[in-house]
Amino acid sequence: MPLPTPALATLLTAAALAVPAPHALPMGDRITGRAFATRSEVHARHGMAATSQPLATQVAVDTLKRGGSAMDAAIAANAVLGLVEPTGCGIGGDLFAIVWDPKAGELSGYNGSGRSPKSLTRARLLEALGEAGQAKIPAYGPLPVSVPGAVDGWCALHERFGKLPLDEVLAPAIAYANEGAPITELIAYYWGLSVRSRGRFPGFLETFTVDGKAPKAGELFRNPGLATTYARIAAEGRAGFYDGEVAETIGRYMAEAGGFLTADDLRAHRGEWVDPVSVNYRGYDVWELPPNGQGIAALQMLQVLEGYDLASMGFGSEQYLHLFTEAKKLAFADRARFYADPAFAPAPVEELISSEYAARRRAEITERAARAVDAGNPALEEGDTIYLCTADCDGMMVSLIQSNYRGMGSGMTPPGLGFCLQDRGELFDLAEGRPNSYAPEKRPFHTIIPAFMTKDGAPLMAFGVMGGATQPQGHVQIVVNMVDFGMNTQEAGDAPRIVHTGSSQPTGEVMEKGGFVHLESGIAPEVRRGLARRGHVLQQKVGVYGGYQAIRRDPITGVYAGASESRKDGQASGY
């Protein structure tokens, strides 16, 4: 039977956050009786940080205590994560952010994704693939490498929203990189997998192993090369990365490895400020960034689901999980068809997230699982990432996501710099004439997406769910869990998740057999059987359910509530 849920329609009123009596739920926390809670929300007034690694969270909170802004804290934490969680992020990757600016009373968005090399034409790419005996852009090696945009993002965001000098912001990460930091359990596990898959590339083992092996849980890891690179950035800003010795080292290394990324490509890079876009879901505005990222897929799904009374169906019910899956298939068909670098192929964003378009797409859902779904006419499955959020005493809230793609990226590790270059170029479509088709100086389709919620024009919650194509699905589940099923910030992330894989992709793959539904433990056996009767193909999988952080702000008291993912090594903390 589906779990009964509190009859709550709103998110932040006292009634909405009231704890139900222990007898109201058949399972739950020993003290509160709430169904899904690995821990309590963390509450604080002056500042809050939530990241996927405790040392990064503590550095963020320390930065806030020293008078830093939420942005200073976010950059400080991201820099520490580049050392202690290179399995999910690093300055060889890209960055996206949504920021609530309390002075302006509005959200700002930043797209810090890099472009493909200027010299790598489609003809040269196809020639290189042919020489290597490959039919698609590979996951590792020099060919999928695109310009890393993270450092440019740090500097642009810091210039607008920072309070402390950049050298002070990066000082804790530099100290940890020089002195060493202990590696946590889950990160150590994924680190070991990355060493096995990327150890053949020059520079990787020298940078990311201890005596030739991945660091174990609790083992100290030092990265003096990364400390030196961070120190250059601290002293020179973006020029310390995109000009001079770092850029030249990357260019030489890539040329020697048969790659195409050059120092000129790095010098030419600039991210861009973008306007977040939103839909209103039952009175709450949910915000995402427009393509080349996949954020609007979450908005499309919410628009479709708003037409159903999900609260009456109950969390974990067969009907809700069926509708969720079918809405995802529809949104991802459009994702495959339309999402790409808007400088090359602008997507019809306004139409895709409109309620009128959602009504037309909703009408395509039946009681049976769809095996194939076409994109509408509006007038990837793997990846690892870090997501973090911060908030300060002035009311600034930062939702930031950063990644190398495929965990530690391409494996290409320039000597002495302390980081691995990303492999985002794998997400281009090799076919000609489509929005995401490969071209030089083009941004690939991107999976990493930050999110934000507001209500009545006021900031409500910075949140995100990391993990490839899981991300928009996770965003939707967080919103639905809180708005429809009355969960608090921590419960919404702890509740069992559903992930659908096998949809059509921006890289050209087409769903023909309906894909696969993956359900975490906690979903009733009879629900699983019911979904199978509808034609869904259920598949057991671990590790595909993403990782979540969130900070919610009480609009009356200004008190922050932080939540951190129970599936990761992270922590929420405040003061």
Largest CA distance in the chain: 67
**Amino acid in position 455:** K
100 assigned to some structural domain = yes
pLDDT at 429: 93
Claim to verify: residue 174 and residue 82 sit in the same structural domain? yes
This prediction has a pTM of 0.92
Claim to verify: residue 127 and residue 252 sit in the same structural domain? yes
pLDDT at 382: 47
Claim to verify: residue 282 and residue 347 sit in the same structural domain? yes
- Which of 385, 413, 489, 507 is catalytic? The answer is 385
- The rounded radius of gyration (Å) of the Cα atoms in the chain is 22
Q: Distance from CA of residue 463 to its chain's centroid?
A: 10
225 assigned to some structural domain = yes
Claim to verify: residue 147 and residue 238 sit in the same structural domain? yes
Buried b (16+ CB within 10 A) or exposed e, 417-429: bbbbbbbbbbbbb
**Amino acid in position 30:** R
- Rounded Cα–Cα distance for residues 262 and 417 (Å): 16
13 assigned to some structural domain = no
Claim to verify: residue 370 and residue 516 sit in the same structural domain? yes
pLDDT at 28: 55
Q: Which residues of the chain have pLDDT under 50?
A: 1-27, 380-383
4 assigned to some structural domain = no
How many structural domains compose the chain? 2
Dihedrals φ, ψ of 295, to 5°? -60, -35
- Rounded Cα–Cα distance for residues 528 and 530 (Å): 5
Residue pLDDT, tens place only, 531-540:
999 999 999 8
| Residue 205 CB neighbours (<10 A) | 16
Claim to verify: residue 126 and residue 201 sit in the same structural domain? yes
Claim to verify: residue 488 and residue 511 sit in the same structural domain? yes
The residue to which tokens 């193909």 are assigned? 537
Angle at 150 between CA 53 and CA 430, to 5 degrees: 110
438 assigned to some structural domain = no
pLDDT at 29: 55
pLDDT at 379: 57
pLDDT at 455: 97
pLDDT at 30: 52
Ramachandran bin of 7, using left for φ above 0, alpha for ψ from -120 to 50, beta for the remaining angles: beta
Structural domain harbouring 129: 48-271+387-427
Asked if residues 93 and 269 have their Cβ atoms less than 8 Å apart, the reply is: no
Claim to verify: residue 69 and residue 159 sit in the same structural domain? yes
pLDDT at 25: 35
Claim to verify: residue 189 and residue 285 sit in the same structural domain? no
Ramachandran bin of 489, using left for φ above 0, alpha for ψ from -120 to 50, beta for the remaining angles: alpha
Closest by CA to 155, choosing from 231, 239, 224, 61, is 239
Tokens standing for 463? 């949140």
* CATH code (residue 309): 1.10.246.130
Dihedrals φ, ψ of 80, to 5°? -65, -40
- Rounded Cα–Cα distance for residues 336 and 347 (Å): 11
318 assigned to some structural domain = yes
385 is catalytic: yes
439 assigned to some structural domain = no
Counts for the chain of helices (H) and strands (E), in that order:
19, 18
Domain end call among 402, 427, 452:
427
Claim to verify: residue 81 and residue 111 sit in the same structural domain? yes
- Rounded Cα–Cα distance for residues 547 and 542 (Å): 13
Claim to verify: residue 134 and residue 187 sit in the same structural domain? yes
Claim to verify: residue 182 and residue 298 sit in the same structural domain? no
Q: Distance from CA of residue 282 to its chain's centroid?
A: 24
Asked if residues 326 and 532 have their Cβ atoms less than 8 Å apart, the reply is: no
Domain end call among 375, 396, 427:
427
572 assigned to some structural domain = no
